């Protein structure tokens, strides 16, 4: 038996293991247990035997021959190539009713043809004969600009999933402006049970950033907030995304106060980073470097708690198998023309197309350079990642950044101690 390489003691009192995400407050008995293990002694008291057993179950202590890196590698590659679950992100249109200044997408009018929709169904029917789970994420543009495609595909997929006896789930990323009663009924009919909506601050901030295309209406905040309330009342879960840069990071206490007063103090939320001009966004001089963003976001979580938002939605890491769906073989993104990608940030970029829905199943993936490159640079080929304490909860970070030679570390390495303090109610 030995101590895990992924133990970290904060302020000599709070122990965290990044392999299991176990968290514990320690006392002198912990240090005694560690000495017993290091000296290969046998615990003699019932309390010490129980303590060491609990430490083993939590992952703080591991078997003497246990190779944690090998275990992480196995976990990573197993999930990269598992084929019992399939994830498909569908963008039925790339058009959008908003023109947000930091958006990375090219907004192209038009929506998916019935021919492409039927090709998607043929593709998914083949997948459903091999999988136990199927998840569809509706994306855009603004997906609610193409309600007919959403309804048609959802109805067909739901029927086939029931026939094939597989677990089907669906969610959506929307700006929230079109989440009226008609579209809420659409979501209910289509079994779309979760929606992500972006609000970027209180009305005066949000309305400057989340603008309607070519419209005289200046206030999008009020309508989106009302829509969120209505969606939740209808039993659909909503998660808020708040995009952060230098222009709004000092105004979020007002937003949180509005959410609490509107009965939304328990809504899940997270912060997104507006980064420097890159593959991910158009960028501006108001961007944040990711390390800076991570530290600011932690302060903002404290602000959220102080204004009455629920602590249970403060993020905390979990043992990660892979960073995202782009690292999984059984995960694809499809645009309105039927073009397929691995990452949804690549939608519309012809250089990143991995195939087309019409003939993708007939292709040999091993001969597709755009497909296999996502599996070429694992975190285990990076010396810094291998030696990093945060590897089990990061798994190398964003693979797209990693492929482009950019630093891809997850936020945990910058803010873990602060998050633990919040978790332990040390505010």
pLDDT at 57: 96
pLDDT (tens digit, 9 = 90+) per residue, 224-248?
A: 999 999 999 999 999 999 999 988 9
Highest mean pLDDT among 189-203, 353-367, 371-385: 189-203
pLDDT digits (tens, 9 = 90+) for 251-287: 999 999 999 999 999 999 999 988 765 444 444 567 8
CA distances from 187 to 180, 216, 344 (A): 11, 28, 22
Query: Percentage of residues in the chain with pLDDT exceeding 70?
Result: 96
Output the six-digit token pair for 419.
């998050």
What is the average pLDDT value for the chain, to the nearest integer?
91
What pLDDT is recorded for position 285? 67
pTM for the predicted model, two decimal places: 0.92
pLDDT of residue 284: 54
In the chain, what are the domains? 2-66 (no CATH), 76-313 (3.20.20.70)
pLDDT at res. 47: 94
The span from the CA of 57 to the CA of 68, in Å, is: 15
pLDDT digit string (tens) for 153-165? 999 999 999 999 9
Q: In the prediction, which pLDDT does 427 show?
A: 43
Percent of residues, the chain, with pLDDT higher than 90: 75
Per-residue model confidence as pLDDT tens digits over 166-190? 999 999 999 999 999 999 999 999 9
């Amino acid at each position: 038996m030995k101590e895990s390489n992924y133990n970290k003691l904060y302020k000599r009192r709070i122990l965290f293991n990044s392999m299991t995400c176990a968290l514990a407050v320690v006392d002198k008995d912990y240090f005694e247990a560690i000495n017993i293990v290091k000296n290969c002694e046998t615990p003699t008291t019932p309390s010490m035997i129980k303590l060491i057993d609990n430490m083993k179950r939590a992952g703080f202590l591991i078997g003497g021959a246990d190779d944690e890196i090998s275990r992480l590698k196995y976990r990573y590659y197993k999930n990269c190539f598992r084929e019992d679950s399939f994830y498909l992100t569908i963008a039925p249109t790339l058009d959008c009713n908003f023109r947000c200044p930091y958006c990375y997408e090219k907004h192209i009018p038009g929506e998916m043809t019935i021919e492409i929709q039927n090709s998607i169904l043929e593709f998914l029917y083949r997948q459903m004969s091999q999988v136990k789970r199927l998840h569809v994420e509706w994306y855009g543009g603004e997906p609610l600009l193409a309600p007919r495609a959403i309804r048609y595909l959802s109805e067909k997929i739901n029927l086939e999933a029931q026939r094939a006896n597989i677990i089907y789930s669906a969610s959506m990323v929307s700006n929230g402006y079109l989440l009226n009663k008609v579209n809420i009924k659409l979501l209910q009919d289509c079994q779309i049970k979760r929606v992500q909506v972006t609000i970027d601050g209180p009305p005066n901030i949000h309305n400057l950033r989340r603008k309607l295309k070519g419209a005289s209406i200046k206030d999008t905040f009020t309508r989106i907030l009302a829509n969120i309330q209505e969606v939740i009342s209808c039993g659909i879960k909503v998660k808020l995304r708040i995009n952060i840069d230098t222009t709004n990071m000092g105004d979020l206490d007002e937003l949180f106060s509005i959410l609490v007063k509107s009965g939304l103090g328990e809504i899940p939320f997270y912060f997104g980073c507006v980064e420097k001009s890159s593959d991910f966004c158009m960028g501006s001089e108001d961007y944040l470097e990711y390390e800076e963003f991570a530290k600011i976001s932690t302060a903002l979580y404290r602000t959220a708690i102080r204004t009455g938002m629920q602590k249970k939605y403060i993020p905390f890491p979990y043992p990660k198998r892979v960073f995202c769906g782009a690292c999984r073989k059984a995960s694809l993104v499809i645009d309105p023309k039927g073009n397929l990608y691995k990452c949804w940030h690549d939608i519309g970029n012809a250089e990143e197309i991995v195939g087309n829905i019409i003939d993708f199943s007939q292709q040999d993936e091993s001969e597709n350079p755009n497909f296999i490159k996502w599996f070429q640079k694992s975190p285990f080929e990076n010396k810094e990642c291998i030696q990093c304490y945060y590897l089990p909860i990061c798994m190398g970070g964003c693979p797209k950044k990693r492929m482009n030679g950019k630093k891809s570390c997850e936020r945990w390495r910058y803010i873990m101690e602060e998050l633990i303090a919040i978790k332990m109610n040390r505010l």
